[in-house]
Structure 1
Amino acid sequence: MKKRLCVLLAALGGSVLLLGACSSVVDRFSRPESVTETSTEAELRASDSNASSAAAEESSEESGAAESEGAGSVEESGSESETNATGEANAEGETLAEGAANAEGETLAAADAAAETGAETGAAESTAAETQAVAVNRGTLTRSFRSLTVEGDSLSLELSESIDRNFHLDYDGTAPLQLEDRENETLYVKESGAEGKVLRIAVPRGTALGQLNIQLGSGNLSLTGVSAERLTANLALGDVSLQNVGAERALLTLSAGSLRADALRTTEFKADAELSNLSVTLAEPLADFDILSRTELGSVYLNGADSGTKLLQRANSGKRLLLRSELGEITINGLQ
């Protein structure tokens, strides 16, 4: 029994020793590992710290480099901006200069084109005027008018009623007439030259004309079957013939020539002549007119009766007949 206990104790002691040895071994092997692990962790931490420092240094270096690059970029961008601004300013100046030059060139070109166009237009208008004059010579006037103004140096004018409802204008001269449409439905006709020519104008029957203004240098005036509100005629050298004419108011001035009016209808008629014979036959009773007629060298005849050099008649009707001639005969006829 004792032997068994001793054996058991010995076995237990051996187990304890064995366990102690194992624990020591375990301690021996475990401690280095933990130290190793600890040192490894420390090394890792240190490396991490170093890495962080390096990264921080690299980051700071990169930040400095970035700031340097940023400053350089700013400087470069400023330089580039100045360069671009200078370039843009130069480009803008060159563009403006080129634009001004181009604009000036275009303006000059436009002016030249306008001048050429004006010249072409003038030539076209001249051609149109000549063409119109040729067409006028053939007889039909396409335009209508209510008032008429005619000026001529050596022109005779014949104004009458047409046989149709059209306006006609015939001209036997070679040089073209100047024709213009003016205000108040006025047709303006001008002729200039030394050649004696005849202008014939016909208006539709019953046309109520407004103003008739005639200025002739050397030529005759003939009105037949027309009526106008006002007739003004000034002739330097020529005769005036009025046949079946109605004129509310008429003023005729003659330097050298004759006046003959037959079947005249008027409210106020005045003729002032220098070296002219005046003959007026009214389509109305003579008793309705205030008549003042005189001549310096000649006689005044009223319905065939010699009244001397002066005739004065009062009717107080508002109608007047005023005739004067420096040198010539004056003959007045009318209904009794």
Structure 2
Amino acid sequence: MQRQRSFQAETVGRLYLVPTPIGNLDDMTFRAVKTLKAVDLIAAEDTRNTQKLLNHFDITTKQISFHEHNTQERIPQLLAKLQAGQQIAQVSDAGMPSISDPGHELVVACAQAQIPVVPLPGANAGLTALIASGLAPQPFYFYGFLDRKPKDQKAEIGELAQRPETLIFYEAPHRLKKTLANLAAGLGAERPAVLCRELTKRYEEFLRGSLSELADWAATDTVRGEFVVLVGGNPHPTTEEDTVDLSEPIPVQVDRLIAAGEKPNAAIKEVANLRHLKKQDVYRVYHHLDQEQEDPTDER
């Protein structure tokens, strides 16, 4: 167990996680500006992008780049500075560090080194979209970006199909058409959904409808801007137990799992779990054994 008291006197520095606006610079908090002015160094995802923000608020703190391509190189350097007593703020290009942006690995390294990590509240595209979407705000399931490869993306969507929570995704404009088509195919064409475009900016827009309607829109309209995609949860999720036909003979169920690639012992165990039976009993039924014969898969 580790205990962090963020603001007690420490001999080492602190890592401040500072959210930045997702579009409208007026969403920068007073505390965020004050923190960026006070720290010794800002670790930024893109120093050129962050410099525009710093110039706007007259912040002169020195920057160092910290992004997905130099994480392993930078973390030891930043840890050394923190252990020497420097105060460091970490920012991404927009929104909260670590949320579909760099930051998590540095947080883990600081926690392991017992360096305090201090989070500041601020802008987040997913939650900003959620509260105005009209979909159930809780529970929700934040997923972020789906895989770019079509096969892997379809597999991810299939795993999410039964979730009852409102689903939150991020997507780039050039991939939106295909992603919406895959969501409609994998989750159901009539599942309610909302597209949130250019949040907090001049052309902020919400498109509400079914996944099929939104997929049709993306296929015919000019798609611009960064998107948050929200999809209503499955109101009637089914579990593996719901799909079990208890009237079907046990050997048939086991054989089906084996035909799908399961090893015999694993198939027997799965059928036993689904039917709430002992594995030994399913084994005996499957192999047509008398009760007195021992199950060789029994590990007792």
TM-score, scaled to structure 1:
0.22
- Is the radius of gyration larger for structure 1 or structure 2? 1
| Highest RCO, 1 vs 2 (Cα 8 Å, sep ≥ 6) | 2
TM-score, scaled to structure 2:
0.24
